[in-house]
Amino acid sequence: MRYAPLLALAATLLGSCVTYTVDEGWFFRPREIARKAATPAEMRLDGEQNLLAHGKFTADLSRVFPAFAERIPAQVAHDFVDIGDLRIATTRVTAANATSGEPLIVACMGQTGDRIQSGLTYIAKTLPWGEVLLVDYPGYGDSSGAPTLAAFAKFQEGLAAYLDKAAAGRPLVLWGHSLGGPVCSAMAAKSREADAMVLETTVPSFNDLMDARKPWFTPPTFDLQLVDGLDAYDIPKSLAGFQGPILVIGAGQDSVLPVAKQRLLAEKLKAAGLAITYVEIEKSEHLNAALNTIFVAEASPFFATITDLRH
């Protein structure tokens, strides 16, 4: 979009309504990768060594999650999942004290997030609660393809089928942060085995995301509309009839997506009759709401309720 030139000259100097169509390129923005891995042996995470032995990373997280030291050293396994003509990069992290029945937690990252550069942050949030699976969206990180609507639709359906098998006999939790909230929810709609959702500092839909991120000087006469297909990224619609518990995490100091939108998401899901827990961390920001002792205390009862629903 890049201010579409200056929002069509401030909607023709505020005199007439101008409609601008927003496509997937406004939402899906992978970082540049110098060289994509060709084999699992070439795959890595920035800071991966922190998962393999105790050190500052473990000590810092132990102040938030008292039992975190027991989770390290972890096993880290990289691989590719073939979905049609897509090759999706994955990283699986299994804690030192993992049990066979603990949840498999799939992390859906934000707008620019990938396993390589963002993975350690997402592992820090999720490894205390279960085994972690990181995935790169199409065109992100080490995954092939391009971040198009068609590729994302294929990715969501194919990965849902893969996860249904990978999580057989144990709880499957889809954890979506920011843009990953609508993406993970769309995947949950395709899954037969998703048992719980965590929606971290996210918004109800791509329409809300667009509204939250448009420039402050957007005039009321400048009408932003999504291209066909993007309106499918709507969390309440995707999760209609979802049987498992849903945790919505709000961040009181979020400067990326306003906490009012996060509260609105919880309200909409509750109004739909879903099993909602809303936790708002007053002094947290967009990335760290799930990385503090207040969150651990308030979210622990939610994670204790997660079971394999055996759909």
CATH, residue 284:
3.40.50.1820
- For residue range 57-92, what is the model confidence (pLDDT) as tens digits? 999 999 999 999 999 999 999 999 999 999 999 999
The number of domains in the chain is 1
194 inside domain: yes
Average of per-residue pLDDT across 9-24? 67
Q: Averaged over 277-282, what is the pLDDT?
A: 98
- The string of pLDDT tens digits covering residues 107-163 is 999 999 999 999 999 999 999 999 999 999 999 999 999 999 999 999 999 999 999
Give the tokens for residue 147. 């971040």
Does residue 57 lie in a domain region? Answer: yes
The predicted pLDDT at position 39 comes to 98
Residue 10 in this model has a pLDDT that exceeds 90: no
Q: What is the pLDDT of residue 223?
A: 84
Residue 148 belongs to a domain: yes
Q: Give the pLDDT confidence score for residue 218 in this predicted structure.
A: 76
Least confident stretch, 5-14, 126-135, 241-250: 5-14
The predicted structure's pLDDT at residue 15: 54
pLDDT at 94: 99
215 versus 67: which is more confidently predicted?
Answer: 67
Print the domain residue range for 283.
45-211+233-304
Given a contact cutoff of 8 angstroms between Cβ atoms, the answer to whether 74 and 102 are in contact is no
202 domain residue, yes or no? yes
Instruction: Quickly state the pLDDT bin for 106 (edges 50, 70, 90).
Output: very high
User: Residue 35 falls within a domain, yes or no?
Assistant: no
pLDDT band at 216 (very low <50, low <70, confident <90, very high): low
Average confidence score pLDDT of the chain: 93
Nearest to 64 by CA among 298, 280, 285: 298
Rounded Cα distance between 208 and 185, Å, is 15
Distance CA 22, CA 29 (A): 14
Q: How far apart are CA 49 and CA 134, in angstroms?
A: 16
Please provide the DSSP assignment of the chain as one string. Answer: -TTHHHHHHHHHHHTS-EEEEE-GGGT--PPP-SS--SSGGG---TTGGGGTS-SHHHHHHHTTSTTGGGG-SPEEEEEEEEETTEEEEEEEEE-TT--TTSPEEEEE--TT--HHHHHHHHHHHHGGGSEEEEEPPTTSTT--S---HHHHHHHHHHHHHHHHHHTTTS-EEEEEETTHHHHHHHHHTT-SSEEEEEEES--SBHHHHHHHHS-TT--TTEEEEEPTTGGG-BHHHHTTT--SEEEEEEETT-SSS-HHHHHHHHHHHHHTT-EEEEEEETT--TTTTTSSHHHHHHHHHHHHT------
Reported as a single tens digit per residue, the pLDDT across 194-214 is 999 999 999 999 999 988 877
Can you give the pTM of this predicted structure?
0.93
Q: What are phi and psi of 80, to 5 degrees?
A: -115, 145
Confidence of residue 311 (pLDDT cuts 50, 70, 90): low
Residue 10 lies in a domain: no
pLDDT tier for residue 18 given thresholds of 50, 70 and 90: confident
In a domain, 240, yes or no: yes
Report the chain's terminal Cα–Cα distance, integer Å: 42
Q: What angle do CA 260, 280, 270 make, to 5 degrees?
A: 70
Has residue 101 been placed in a domain?
Answer: yes
Q: State the average pLDDT over residues 250-266.
A: 98
Here the tokens at position 214 are: 């448009």
Over 80: is that where the pLDDT of 310 sits?
A: no
